[in-house]
Chain A
Amino acid sequence: MASIRNRLRKPKTASPPEPTAVELAVELAPQVVLQLDLDIAPTDPLLAYLQTSGGAVDLSRLKLDSPALEQMRQDGLLVIAPLVSQGELIGVINLGDRRSEQEYTSDDRKLLDDLTAQASPAVRVAQLVRQQRLEARERERIEQELKVARLIQQTLLPRDVPHLSGWDVAAYYQPAREVGGDFYDFLYFDDGRVGFVIGDVTDKGVPAALVMATTRTLLRVIGERLVTPGAVLERVNEVLIDDIPPRMFVTCLYALLDPATGRLCFANAGHDLPFHRSAEGVHEMRATGMPLGLLPGMGYEEKEITLAPGDTVFFYSDGLAEAHSPVGEMYGFPRVQELLTGCQSHADLIACSLDSLADFTGAGWEQEDDVTLVTLHREAGSERVGVGSEDLSRHPAGEWRTLAEIEIASQPGNERLAAEQVAAAVAEVLPQARLERLKTAVAEATMNAMEHGNQYQPDVPVQIWVDESPAAVRVCIVDQGGGQFLGDAQAPDLEAKLSGLQSPRGWGLFLIQAMVDEMHVNSDDRHHALELIMNRADDGDPAAAQGA
């Protein structure tokens, strides 16, 4: 008797071949074993026939439009016996000519049927064992890959957060089981500025970890050479796009903090928008830009805000915003925003976020994606109070250099002292006419600070910082009158004053604003600050012409 074996079509695996169920069965036969590779298509009617045939089948009597049947006949098969377990066809025993060259008898067929009936459960068990072995091996391979991915990510994440006087930085990172591509980083510069990076690579596992590592390295190297966040992201995109695997990209937000002034300049490559909590409320920090690695030639919008004491910025990844509840609802950005309005203490913000996420996702939640949270907080009692608005893009944070730091006792008349000291600091920087205007503005602002902010308490000084950039001079005048509102700098109504309908006073704020190129007001609950910007020169400015 000649035994011939074949295989049913099944998914191919990378594992070395093991004996199939059918092979196990035919090993029992002490006859010549021939190798026959025959794939039976899932749509072949022979499969359905064998599943219901109930015993050995004489191929010569079978009439089916079956390519597999035709192939079997060509290969010399005469009888086939299906192995069926729990109604499922799990293999076939194929018989060719008997060595005696006699026909198969009914006894032979009965023996064959008994054999398949006995063998089928054993073959099925063997198949399941083999399948479990393969699955275990695959799980082991995946776990090993995840370990590598975790190792790459955790090795490259910062070991510590920046420790900056007057600032509090905190970070939290929890990888998903499958390890997403989240990352964050801090970049330190010689002039004291600190870069904050948060990003997310599409895909998971080792490929995402490798792209994350590449992106992090690019940001560090390019961040050293280029000044502004927008330029850094633009260059990283250009380099990354040549190497990133297809269908992968990186979202990334890069923010550059000047701790001395509180200015935070940022650009965004498609990452979830951070939130800024200030005395005015909680606002998205919006700057447009495509993710890294998608398209060449991308530009990245730059924005700048100034963090006043008490302000907090919250960076996060989509592992938070896109987490789902048990009923499939997404956590969403409004909830992220509510975190900042609801959790007043910056120190508790990460804990509040995690509690809120846990409440939302419920017990037994399997984390879908990495969760990365970074908080940046300016302490309320910090030395140098930040001032300014979000609309100072032509004065990039990194360009300012401090010329003088001045303290003025809050005593009547000392505003002239302030004006003279500021003038001395910028005498070589501004033309005479612009210098005179700045002196008037500084004197008025200092007078307001001493009178309204510090109530003319001699032991409560007005603090003044004088900075310069290639384009301008900046004077920040800070008092302890937090929460005050000085009103808008509207042009006074001189006719009304002359006719006695209004007080002749009320020129201060108007004069300040008229004297400088930009004026910004900022307050928290303890401080009030006025920022004056005077450009070095303005061709169309009569004051500049007078001083020339």
Chain B
Amino acid sequence: MTQFRPFSATVRSANGAAIVDLHGEINANAEAVLNGAYAEAIQGQPGRLLLNFGDVDYINSTGIALIVGVLAQARKAHVALVTYGLSAHYQEIFKITRLADFMGMVNDEAAALAG
């Protein structure tokens, strides 16, 4: 039986960038935790904000809406948003939804920090 993990997020920094490591499911239940992680990450006024989806199991349409909200806040704060670790399926969804047009989308953390 598949185990469904609740959402969690941890914030760290590297090379002037804030990195938010995302875990579990991004759905309606993730809203408070995700927004809290964003607020924490942005506090240090990083040059860029990296979202690590490598440990994310599932993103639903409400999760997409939450990411749109984060992207909107980052754009308002003039902080570049870069994602990495997305599975091929979610990369496709980010392209279909055009999120990929407004945020970087690379394969791994090294590429995200280098970009």
Contacts and interface: CB of A to CB of B under 8 A. Distances in A.
Interface of A: 412-413, 415-416, 420, 433, 436-437, 440, 443-444, 447, 492, 494, 497-500, 503-508, 510-511, 514, 542-543, 546
B89 A494 contact: no
Interface stretch (B38-46, B47-55, B92-100, B105-113): B92-100
A438 to B, nearest CB: 11
Contacts of B60: 415, 440, 443-444, 447
Contact of A500 (B25, B72, B89): B72
B102 to A, nearest CB: 7
B88 A514 contact: no
Interface of B: 2, 4, 25, 27-29, 58, 60-62, 64-66, 68-69, 71-72, 75, 87-89, 92-93, 96-99, 101-102
A420 B2 contact: yes
Given A440-B93, A508-B61, 4 more contacts: A433-B88, A444-B60, A494-B98, A511-B97
A504 B89 contact: no
Which applies to chain B's interface (DSSP): helix, strand, loop or mixed?
helix
23 contacts: A412-B29, A413-B29, A415-B60, A416-B4, A420-B2, A436-B87, A436-B89, A443-B60, A492-B97, A494-B68, A497-B68, A498-B68, A498-B72, A503-B65, A504-B69, A505-B61, A506-B65, A507-B65, A507-B97, A508-B61, A511-B97, A514-B96, A546-B92
B89 A440 contact: yes
B92 A542 contact: yes
B72 A433 contact: no
Which applies to chain A's interface (DSSP): helix, strand, loop or mixed?
helix
Given A433-B89, A498-B75, A543-B92, A444 B102 contact: no
Nearest to A506: B65
Nearest to B66: A504
A420 to B, nearest CB: 5
Contacts of A415: 60
A506 B75 CA distance: 20
Contact of A546 (B62, B69, B75, B88): B88
B65 A504 contact: yes
Given A497-B72, A504-B66, A416 B25 contact: yes
A510 B99 CA distance: 14
Question: What 10 A-B pairs have minimum CB-CB distances, sorted nearest first?
Answer: A507-B61, A504-B68, A436-B89, A505-B65, A508-B61, A504-B65, A498-B72, A507-B64, A504-B69, A494-B98
A497 to B, nearest CB: 5
B61 A444 contact: yes
A486 to B, nearest CB: 13
A437 to B, nearest CB: 7
A462 B28 CA distance: 20
A504 B62 CA distance: 9
B99 A505 contact: no
Contacts of A492: 97
A500 B87 CA distance: 28
Contacts of A420: 2
Contacts of B28: 412
A413 B65 contact: no
Contacts of A440: 60, 89, 93
